[in-house]
């Protein structure tokens, strides 16, 4: 059963349509990535799902519930954005606890859930550190823990790894996929790094100019591409031969 559906969505800035007749459906517990060139509408799609943008037309539903007019603060979604800075004046523990305290979760539950999440992202022992005392990858893991701790109904990532160096990017994407599968959270992941998208996704949506040109499993897109994916084939071939 599709868990997340966007039906005939239209979004425009001023008079210009960025998404038009946009349709997407994502299975429960799966990770879909949106892959496409700069300006094709990836962030716009995420902002719409998050509730930061309103659709001019169309419908967005999650688990059968219509979310089209639900305000952002009533959506229990987790976000990890490229520039989603941690609170610099709060410790790692307090950064992760923030969303729970906002939701008035009692103190002992906050403690249990924060510690479990820090365990999942391998940051035990870092509770009292401040963001400036962490490496880039550790900060990113705090951001992921902060997004996950509220047990979101949906997880949204917008280029979460683009500030990290190449090695760390590979480690972190493995980690994101592990956590996502462990917790079974439906996830929409945006990147313009094709290797990243193909390696962590159940499905990839190839976007161009506000439309989805192909939506398939990575292996299907590799074998039967509807469009030419620039420069990707050699590396993808190696990836699938190694699997």
Q: Which residues bind Mg ion (CB under 5 A)?
A: 43
Q: How far is the CB of 197 from ligand ATP (least distance, A)?
A: 12
- Beta carbon of residue 237, minimum distance to Mg ion (angstroms, whole number): 28
Helix pair angle (166-183, 136-148), 10° resolution: 20
Annotate each residue in 42-61 with x if it binds ligand ATP (CB under 6 A) or - if it does not, as one string. Answer: xxx-----------------
Angular region, 239: left φ>0, alpha ψ -120 to 50, beta rest: alpha
- Is residue 209 a contact point for ligand ATP (CB under 6 A)? no
DSSP 175-235: HHHHHHHHHT--EEEEES-HHHHHHH-SEEEEEETTEEEEEE-HHHHHHS-SS--TTTHHH
Residue 83 binds ligand ATP (CB under 6 A): no
Q: In this chain, which of 23, 84, 192, 202 binds ligand ATP, going by CB under 6 A?
A: 192
- Binding to ligand ATP by residue 106, rule CB under 6 A? no
Residue 220, token pair as written in the block: 């299907």
Nearer to ligand ATP, 18 or 86 (CB): 18
Task: In angstroms, give the least distance from the CB of 28 to ligand ATP.
Answer: 25
């Amino acid at each position: 059963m599709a868990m997340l559906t966007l039906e005939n969505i239209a979004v425009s800035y001023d008079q210009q349509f960025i998404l038009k007749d946009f349709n997407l459906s994502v299975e429960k517990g799966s990770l879909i990535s949106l892959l496409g060139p700069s300006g094709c509408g990836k962030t716009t799609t995420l902002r719409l799902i998050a509730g930061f943008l309103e659709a001019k037309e169309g419908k967005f539903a999650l688990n059968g519930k219509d979310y089209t007019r639900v305000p952002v603060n009533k959506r229990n979604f987790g976000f990890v954005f490229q520039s989603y800075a941690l609170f610099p004046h709060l410790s790692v523990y307090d950064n992760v606890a923030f969303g729970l305290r906002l939701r008035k979760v009692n103190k002992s539950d906050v403690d249990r859930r924060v510690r479990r999440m820090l365990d999942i992202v391998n940051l035990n022992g870092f509770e009292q550190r401040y963001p400036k005392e962490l490496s880039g990858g550790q900060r990113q893991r705090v951001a992921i823990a902060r997004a996950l701790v509220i047990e979101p109904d949906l997880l949204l990532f917008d280029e979460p790894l683009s500030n990290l160096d190449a090695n760390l990017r590979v480690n972190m994407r493995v980690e994101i996929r592990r956590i996502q599968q462990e917790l079974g959270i439906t996830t929409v992941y945006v990147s313009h790094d094709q290797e990243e998208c193909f390696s962590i996704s159940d499905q990839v949506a190839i976007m161009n100019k506000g439309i989805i040109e192909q939506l398939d499993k990575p292996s299907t897109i590799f074998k039967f591409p509807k469009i030419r994916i620039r420069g990707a084939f050699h590396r993808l071939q190696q990836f699938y031969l190694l699997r």
